[in-house]
Amino acid sequence: LSRCITMQGCMQRQPRTAIQCYCLQDSGPPVTPLPEQALPNDEPVHGGGILQVAFALDGCRLLTGSTDRTARCLWLPVSKHVGAGTTFVGHNGPVNSVCWSHDGEYLLTASSDRTARLWSSSLPSPLITFDAITQFSTSSSSSTGGSRSIRKTSSTGGSSRNSTAPSGIPQSSSSGRGTSSAAMGSGGSAAGSGSGSSGGACGEFIGEVTAARFFYMDEMVLVATGNKVHMFRYKPPDTTGDDDIQRLKATGSYSLAASYSSSCQSVLDIAAANSFLSTLLLLACSNRSIELVDAATMQVRGGLRWIEC
């Protein structure tokens, strides 16, 4: 805005200051629950404490994990979708962490029941259950607790999500028994066939799964259990067919690519870039340290340790 004034026969322009007043009373964060953002009948999101939340990259969905052994996906805003979403049921313990894939099609949950599970964002049943270094085939197990047979997977047999392995990531063993071909340095070790400290029979996880993350643009899955971090290739089942029975029978597969053993007692969380190709991992450890690990070699590249003064 400007106004014109006449001064000694010539025109000059002088700016006019425009002052707009705004009410600050309603500009702060809400201090009371907003009724329009509540679930129907004021129901809680979960029946227990919520341990972790994660936004999808599109910002339209919120994922939660709870001590009530379920995870939940809510469409946002709640005032528009009125609690619409999916509840993921299948864990037998608290859901410690939740994670979205980069494309928003899949999600991961990690639980105290010693498993991590891969889900479709729209289906309430898991597609893949990561419960051992070597994948089990449940088709031969009996309802009375019979023994389970081993499904041998290889990098050439469709065990990875894509046919070609990403560069910089170690190749998985062709035997499918869980032995990594990665060259492990100090602080890292290849996972064995299930004996010793690697786990129970056939490499079952012996502790709760504290974190599960997608990695390397959704090509890999990272699972933290005890003082170990396992990196898996995976192939979700095909659920796009027209036959409903075949879609229900379809099962996914996974195979071990590499493992890392930390000197701490427990790896509590994992941070890994998934929106671009990077082989670096950050591990939050129980000994108050942060370890920087190169997933291509499974060797420590640096770290931080908290020291009390």
Do 306 and 291 touch, CB atoms closer than 8 A? no
Interatomic CA distance for residues 117 and 135, integer angstroms? 13
Q: What is the pLDDT of residue 236?
A: 92
- How large is the average pLDDT for residues 247-268? 90
The DSSP 8-state label assigned to residue 296 in this structure reads T
- How large is the average pLDDT for residues 128-143? 64
pLDDT higher than 80, residue 299: yes
Interatomic CA distance for residues 122 and 120, integer angstroms? 5
- How large is the average pLDDT for residues 17-26? 64
Average pLDDT in the chain: 76
Q: How confident is the model at residue 104 (pLDDT cuts 50, 70, 90)?
A: very high
Kindly give the residue spans of alpha helices, DSSP state H, lying in the chain: 78-81, 244-249
Q: Which of 57, 48, 38 is nearest to 96 (CA)?
A: 48
Cβ-Cβ contacts under 8 Å for 139 (sequence gap 6 or more): 149
Do 233 and 161 touch, CB atoms closer than 8 A? yes
Burial of 221 from C-beta contacts in 10 A (0-12 / 13-18 / 19+): buried
